[in-house]
Amino acid sequence: MSVQTWTFLIVGLSFAVYIGLAIWSRARSTGEFYVAGGEINPIFNGMATAADWMSAASFISMAGIISFVGYDGSVYLMGWTGGYVLLALLLAPYLRKFGKFTVPDFVGDRYYSRVARIVAVLCALFVSFTYVAGQMRGVGIVFSRFLNVEINTGVVIGMLIVFFYAVLGGMKGITYTQVAQYCVLIFAYMVPAIFISIMITGNPIPQLGFGDTLNDGSGAYLLDVLDQLNRDFGFATFTGGSKSTIDVFFITAALMVGTAGLPHVIVRFYTVPKVSGARVSAFWALLFIAILYTTAPAVAAFARTNLLRTIPERAYADVPQWFARWEDTKLIRFTDKNGDGMITYSGNGAVNELDIDRDIMVLANPEIADLPSWIIALVAAGGLAAALSTAAGLLLVISTAFAHDLLKKSFYPDLSERRELGFARIAAGGAVILAGYFGVNPPDYVAATVAIAFGLAASSFFPAIILGIFSKRVNREGAVAGMITGLLFTTSYIVYFKFLFPETNNAAHWWFGISPEGIGTLGMIVNFVVSIAVSLFTPPPPRDVQEMVARIRLPG
């Protein structure tokens, strides 16, 4: 069967499972819609959390970045994985013990302020919409290649699917759907990685094949060969690094604390029956995440090696079929600058004739390696599972922030549960439409867009949550001032370099050499300083709030 037939079959079956689970587990109350009734088994919750967290950026874009920038791409591995350790140790058990549905709910009650709650809602919406843009873009890329439609059409198809099971099932439906999506995405990621590892190194374990010798009898190590290929074509070596130490540190830190402040991840720890289950869920999620994250560098190296061995210095008329198929999506572009009909792929922009979107590398990897059609289709299903699982979680955060935190908690406390659930579903529908717009007009490639979202979460939510748990002295004035200042500072920096003056988006113009992807760390520091300073010059929180803060840190 052809790749397209296999794609229709595998993607169609996976979607049928997702929609069937959404119908079977549809939410019938606000408790089920927001936190799945708090009845999810920690292992299942760990799988759902892993799927929620391993978005299109993890599945599609992370290995693509590493394949192009090599060592510098390790910031994503360190930041996102380290962030989960931070979340498990510092936040998950305490937030679960506090017992609120959402982060704005925690902020509103901890800082005894409707204004603080509204600011937290705005931060949640801002972060979630930035993050969901990357997911919808990933959906569009997958559909564009494997269903032969425009990327924008692919985004619309993804919108319709997410709308169905997110709006119908709420957190309960999303949780069981994400368990299935995790199984699909991890299988889809590992199968081609194992096949290609055997083909290139003879080692069936990709994590070990990454550092092994080639199986062509040369005895050369894969990474040495890849470094030489990069040098031959004028690119920086795969194992070298070009980013400054300070930028690596700030990006890694922003991704770490951004992970710990992401509202759609934090809410998952309310879906387990007990506080201890939150910590157990974090352990299982980290284990499930590690399977993919330890494989990503190997996938990146395999893809880059096969690409550099296949395409450069080849006649355009003789390109393999996979090249032509991806060229139709406009994610690969060949411009014959010298008119010789040969493809020149070079790190020298003046002579380079090939433009490759880094987001295609994982999806195109099985085709470049000439793997069977069913594996190519399986990767497409995995990419969709990764993007849709995170998009659903983010849309739920958006709908919850609007219906529960903004309407019920801030303006209409007498709102009935039935009407609140209705407003939540309406908000989810509106969010799907807006998310589709951002998917059609994303601010950057998938992983960079997601990195921006993590920076915004780091500069807005993280200090308010940490200080809310571990400091009895920080008050509502400090928290509100810190969140607003941190968010405005980080957003202004990103907008300036990414949108207003993109020609200055380089190390020569960045403050202290910190890129827009890493500025969230500095925004977080600004937030901490402002929150503590304002709190020291204003009255302390009420005694009952201080006692509550002390109580949630007590064991038991």
Q: Per residue in 173-198, pLDDT tens? A: 677 777 888 888 898 899 999 999 99
**Strand partners for 203:** none
Residues 19, 161: Cα–Cα separation, whole Å: 8
In a domain, 227, yes or no: yes
Mean pLDDT, range 137-153, rounded to an integer? 75
| Predicted pLDDT at 320 | 86
314 within domain boundaries: no
Query: What DSSP string runs through 169-180?
Result: HHHHHHHHHHHH
For the stretch 535-545, pLDDT in tens is 999 999 999 98
Greater confidence, 381 or 399? 381
- Of the listed ranges 32-36, 75-79, 99-103, 416-420, the least confidently predicted one is 32-36
Q: What is the pLDDT of residue 384?
A: 78
pLDDT average, residue stretch 75-79: 85
What CATH number corresponds to the domain at position 473? 1.20.1730.10
- pLDDT reading at 418 higher than 50: yes
Give the pLDDT score at 37: 47
Residue 399 is predicted with a pLDDT of 76
Any domain includes 44: yes
In whole angstroms, give the CA distance from residue 456 to residue 182.
Answer: 26
Q: Which of 42-46, 365-369, 393-397, 528-532 has the lowest mean pLDDT?
A: 393-397
* Alpha helix (H) residue ranges in 25-61: 30-35, 42-53, 56
Structural domains in the chain (count): 1
Range of the domain at 420: 3-305+367-552
Residue 400 belongs to some domain of the structure: yes
Q: Quick check: is 333 in a domain?
A: no
CA distances from 494 to 330, 499, 502 (A): 27, 8, 10
> What's the pLDDT band for 55 if we cut at 50, 70, 90?
confident
**Do 369 and 198 form a contact (C-beta atoms < 8 A)?**
no
Question: Is 105 domain-assigned?
Answer: yes
Q: What is the per-residue pLDDT for 123? A: 76
pLDDT in tens, 206-258: 999 998 988 888 889 999 999 999 898 888 888 887 788 899 899 999 888 88
Q: Is the pLDDT at 28 greater than 70, yes or no?
A: no
User: What's the mean pLDDT in 52-60?
Assistant: 76
Nearest CA to 102 out of 260, 269, 254 is that of: 269
Buried b (16+ CB within 10 A) or exposed e, 262-285: bbbbbbbbbbbeebebbbbbbebb
Does residue 465 lie in a domain region? yes
129-133, 362-366, 427-431: which is most confident:
362-366
| Helix intervals (H) in 359-445 | 361-368, 373-400, 417-440
| pLDDT for 57 beyond 80 | no
Task: State the average pLDDT over residues 78-103.
Answer: 75
For residues 480 and 119, is the Cβ–Cβ distance under 8 A? yes
Asked if residue 32 has pLDDT above 60, the reply is no
Residue 48 lies in a domain: yes
Mean pLDDT of the chain: 81
Across the range 369-384, mean pLDDT stands at 84
Q: Which one, of 59, 137, 146, 138, lies nearest residue 374 by Cα?
A: 146
> What percentage of the chain has pLDDT greater than the value 90?
16
Q: Look at residue 51 in the predicted model and tell me its pLDDT.
A: 78
